[in-house]
Structure 1
Amino acid sequence: MNAIGLIETKGLIALVEATDAMAKAANVEIVKKVQIGGGLVTTVVRGDVGSVRAAVEAGANAAAQVGELVGSHIIPRPAEGLIEAYIG
């Protein structure tokens, strides 16, 4: 794993659309969906930096078209254990 990408939305519909777009846009692994509370949900993906960047861009655009995109972020070369520490 060279990078992780995150997309956070308000509501599940936008997140499902974003996750679908990410999976179709690039060769990334969908790691987990996290419910934050207050209607906020996040999807985490991982893969090589270029694929994660393309996936997050596609997912953010898709989420914004059907709902509320709260944020998106890419972490290249994440620290060892980062995913496990936050989303187990």
Structure 2
Amino acid sequence: MAKQALGMIETVGLTSLVEAADAAIKAADVTMTGWDKIGSGLVCGFFVGDVAAVKAGIEAAAEAASQVGEVNSTLVIPRPHEELGQMGPWIS
């Protein structure tokens, strides 16, 4: 995952995450690697790409998701450590 970034967006409800994913993929050259149910209605989507693209994609995702639901949090990790990929297949 060298020279890549990992972006995450956590929303309340799957509908908001679908809207977020659509916006992120359309706005920037990012790949959605997966999503996970957190619990209590929270879901998290994972995106990878170069740092600038992931930042732009996550910003677009947060804006779009907030129009239809609630965004709980966002995070962009530039050049994540390779061992972070052991947490799940959506990070690799």
Please indicate, yes or no, whether the TM-score normalized by the shorter chain is above 0.5.
yes
Give the drift of 1:55: 0.1
Kindly, what percent of the aligned residue pairs are identical? Answer: 49
Instruction: List gaps (5 residues or longer) in structure 2.
Output: none
Structure 2 length-normalised TM: 0.90
Deviation at 1:84, TM superposition (A): 3.2
In 2, Cα distance between equivalents of 1:5 and 1:34: 14
Q: 1:27 aligned to 2:41?
A: no
TM-score by length of 1: 0.94
- Root-mean-square deviation over aligned CA pairs: 1.0
Equivalent position of 2:53 in the other structure: 51
Unaligned runs of 5+ in 1: none
Residue 68 of structure 1 and its aligned partner are, at CA, apart by 0.7
